[in-house]
Amino acid sequence: MIKILVPVVKDFCEDDELLELTGIRQIRQIYVPELVIALHNVYMDAGNYINSSYMMKALELTNEVADPLKSILDTFRESGRLAEYVDVVVATSRAILAATQDGAKDLAIWTVDK
């Protein structure tokens, strides 16, 4: 499933002129936030049940959303779902911090030296 969702989320109609001419902007506002959040949740579930390193993929997805060369972040703004996505990212960050406190070695980047 991950192999199917990633390219869809990354490349879903990035051409702004095409979006305006075909009316795809409204379709993007419905589906892109859903696909991004679904993929995010898949990564988190995989991180919880398979290997905690999948949680980092969820954070890498946030880089794709925030990429200024893409309009994914704009789609979240236009659809009014940006706050929802920020809440999902915050929960992910907390889960990663909790995983490192539990001794997850794959997420050592989040370990803070005292």
Check if the beta carbon of residue 9 is closer than 8 Å to that of residue 18.
Answer: no
Report field, pTM of the whole predicted structure over 0.75: no
Highest mean pLDDT: which of 61-70, 78-87, 98-107? 78-87
Check if the beta carbon of residue 50 is closer than 8 Å to that of residue 104.
Answer: no
Predicted confidence at residue 12, as pLDDT, reads 56
111 pLDDT higher than 80: no
114 pLDDT higher than 50: no
Beta carbons within 8 Å of 10's beta carbon, 6+ residues apart: 64, 70
pLDDT band at 1 (very low <50, low <70, confident <90, very high): low
7 or 29, greater pLDDT: 29
Beta carbons within 8 Å of 22's beta carbon, 6+ residues apart: none
